[in-house]
Amino acid sequence: MRKKTAFLFGIVSLFILTQVYAQTAKSKKALEYFTNGQYFMAVDMLRDAYGNEPDNDIKLDITYKIAECYRLTSQPEKAEMWYKRVILKKYENPLMYVYYADALKMNEKFELAIENYREYKKLVPSDPRGENGIKSCEMAIKWKENPNGYKVANMKFFNSKESEYYPAYANTEYSEVFFTSSREESAGKEKHGATGQNFSDIYFSIQDRKGNWSTPLPLGENINTEFEEGGASLSKDYNTLFFSRCEKVKKETMGCKIFTSVRKGDEWGKAEPWTITADSITVSHPTLSEDEFILYFVSDMPGGMGNKDIWKVTRETKESEWGTPENVGSDINTPGNEMFPFIHNDGTLYFSSDYHLGMGGLDIFRAIPENNKWKVENMRYPINSTYDDFAIVIEKEHERGYFSTSRDGNDEIYSFVLPPLKFTVEGIVRNEKSNDPIANATVKLVGSDGITVAAETSSDGVFKFNLRPNTDFVFVASKKGFLTGKGKETTKGLIESQDFKSEIRLSSIAEPIELPNIFYDFAKWDLRPESMVALDKLVETLNDNPHVTIELRSHTDARGSVQTNIELSQKRAQSVVNYLIEKGIEPARLRAKGYAATMPKVVDMKIASQHPFLKEGTEITQEYIDSLLTEEQKEIAYQINRRTEFQVLSTDYQPRK
């Protein structure tokens, strides 16, 4: 984060000294550098002052400022060490806990970080940074264990031992890339007080047909100067360049402005300042919408919501004047820093934030426009890390591009790509009762995107389909002599390839089909609430098989009088029919019949496996029940006979139009 921090809007003082020091000239100079935001230059002087300072209170405050220097130059290992010293000495500023926790989180010491976020939350319960820090650690652990499918790689062709960041495409083939760098070849030879590196320039690299990138070269002198340039963005035709420049006059930083340049042949014309804001207002990080009617940028101008906000200006035509700057709103901007916007051609706004819940440092987010609002989501690991991740650029047609990260030390450019997702389903169609596979069944795949594909099961009942991403699917299996059955899967929201398994069971229409979990109170025929679930599945089956008519059969056990059981079973069967009619099933398709105890159940394979004392093929008559050894076995047999089932009567019913 060293270069980008300094480049945000020049050197800005973030903290105000709270004590008056009676110190050596060197100590005073070190504190002056710190106050002016020149942290790289200040830290060595502060460390010298720390070693020579006899006053323990002043020494402790110097310790805190050394830790701050390392935090603000993105050196979390050193920041962790110095904040720990501050905490052990009971420094009075509670922010030391949140900053120490931030450093621990960047160093992936999540559990210890959570402890310190909790301490800060206890001391300053009104500040959300404590609770948010805890949540961010928990998310970082989860996301690192479950990457989201992106593949990332260090772009060694672009990177040097200094900082490189802020990539931008410079042609329609994506074979030319502009980026910001503070490498030794830069025009500005003065060292930056906040980073110790050269002032940055804009460079470019071109990829040949073999995929090799050329040695990066700086843009011409009309773009790069002795000052700090960076953050390039180009128009749709790639002939207008927007970028930031932070100038200094007599060693005083004048803030940052957006400049534009128009390409003339192979050369860029003289850069001109963009005058949409007053000279006193600092702006940076421009990005132009696809239609070129909106320009997004970053500023700390009055009226914002935090430290650095994303703003926009609009115009009605390409020839019109730009309007008044407008904050993009609280969906995106927070009390923290929102920076490095990139607007995709589909309207998605990508940006970095150190306040929205993330893994640590700056995280990259995408904001999708929905109903005049923005839906913001973290791009997760491995795009994001516990270090700073920022300044992303993405191709129009594919989910690939480049982003900047400090995860390897200096800011560097990484490539990323989301490999094409591959989804398959392998399923099997089985006989519901026998569990045998059903060969030559027709399985139709119906997708929510309108796709319909059909296939037949193999001799072992297996079917296979390839599935599309972001789609809901229904698999409808059918075969003559069976009721149609179905299965469901979805690829919506999945970010990794996956192979699905499915099983569809078909019921033969040649024999009765039992409805499980149909319950009544003793001697009553009103359906109990828990019966509704099973009956709703029957409604679904009837809707999937619109040409069948059925007889609803209710059976009792043999206890009680025959007449009472006949009346009770008929009323129970009718209560099921009434429920189905209420759910929209045509009455002409339904018949209710109570059989009392006249049709004892025959033990099938499923029942025999559940109750080994019952032998497959046995008819559970009253005589057989009386022969059972225990009262428990007898009660189980009675319960099996008390059942509700249906029998298909016909398959040629014509639904009413």
Looking at every residue in the chain, the average pLDDT score rounds to 89
Q: Is the pLDDT of residue 9 over 50?
A: no
Q: Cβ(213)–Cβ(206) under 8 Å?
A: yes
What percentage of residues in the chain have a pLDDT greater than 90? 67
CA distances to 103, 128, 359, 384 from 135, rounded to whole Å, are: 15, 11, 9, 16
Q: Which two tokens stand for residue 538?
A: 């029957």
At 22, is the pLDDT very low, low, confident or very high (cuts 50, 70, 90)?
Answer: very low
At 11, is the pLDDT very low, low, confident or very high (cuts 50, 70, 90)?
Answer: very low
Residue 165: what pLDDT? 94
At 234, is the pLDDT very low, low, confident or very high (cuts 50, 70, 90)?
Answer: very high
At 192, is the pLDDT very low, low, confident or very high (cuts 50, 70, 90)?
Answer: low
Residue 51: what pLDDT? 80
The tens digit of pLDDT for each residue in 458-515 reads 999 999 999 999 899 999 999 999 999 999 999 998 878 899 999 999 999 988 988 8
The tens digit of pLDDT for each residue in 91-124 reads 889 999 999 999 999 999 999 999 999 999 999 9
C-alpha angle 596-597-601 in degrees, rounded to nearest 5: 120
Q: Cβ(147)–Cβ(382) under 8 Å?
A: yes
CATH entry, 513-650, from 3.30.450.20, 3.30.1330.60, 2.60.120.380, 1.10.3720.10 = 3.30.1330.60
Q: Is the pLDDT of residue 28 over 80?
A: no
The tens digit of pLDDT for each residue in 357-414 reads 999 889 999 999 998 899 999 999 999 999 999 999 999 999 999 999 999 888 999 9
CATH architecture assigned to 2-145: Alpha Horseshoe (1.25)
At 526, is the pLDDT very low, low, confident or very high (cuts 50, 70, 90)?
Answer: confident
Could you give the CA distance from residue 644 to residue 599 in angstroms, rounded to a whole number?
A: 12
Q: Which has more pLDDT, 383 or 186?
A: 383
Residue 280: what pLDDT? 65
At 195, is the pLDDT very low, low, confident or very high (cuts 50, 70, 90)?
Answer: low
Least confident of 195-199, 223-227, 520-524: 195-199
Q: Cβ(197)–Cβ(162) under 8 Å?
A: yes
Q: Is the pLDDT of residue 618 over 60?
A: yes
Residue 55: what pLDDT? 82
At 249, is the pLDDT very low, low, confident or very high (cuts 50, 70, 90)?
Answer: low
Residue 233: what pLDDT? 93
Q: Which two tokens stand for residue 570?
A: 């008929």
Alpha helices in 497-561 (DSSP H): 532-544
- Which residue is associated with the tokens 């993330």? 358
Q: Is the pLDDT of residue 146 over 80?
A: yes
Q: Cβ(268)–Cβ(222) under 8 Å?
A: yes
Could you give the CA distance from residue 597 to residue 565 in angstroms, rounded to a whole number?
A: 7
Residue 278: what pLDDT? 67
> Is 151-417 a domain of CATH 2.120.10.30?
yes
Q: Is the pLDDT of residue 189 over 70?
A: no
Alpha helices in 256-303 (DSSP H): none
**What average pLDDT does range 421-434 have in this prediction?**
93
Fold of 423-506: Immunoglobulin-like (2.60.40)
Q: Is the pLDDT of residue 18 over 50?
A: no
Least confident of 68-82, 113-127, 520-534: 520-534
Reported pTM: 0.69
Residue 539: what pLDDT? 93
* Residues facing residue 442 across a β-bridge: 456, 478
Q: Is the pLDDT of residue 442 over 90?
A: yes
Residue 409: what pLDDT? 81
Could you give the CA distance from residue 624 to residue 629 in angstroms, rounded to a whole number?
A: 11
Cis peptide upstream of residue 382 (ω within 30 degrees of 0): yes
Residue 4: what pLDDT? 55
* In the chain, domain spans: 2-145, 151-417, 423-506, 513-650
**What average pLDDT does range 302-311 have in this prediction?**
91
**What average pLDDT does range 245-254 have in this prediction?**
66
The tens digit of pLDDT for each residue in 539-558 reads 999 999 999 999 999 999 88
The tens digit of pLDDT for each residue in 37-51 reads 788 888 888 888 888
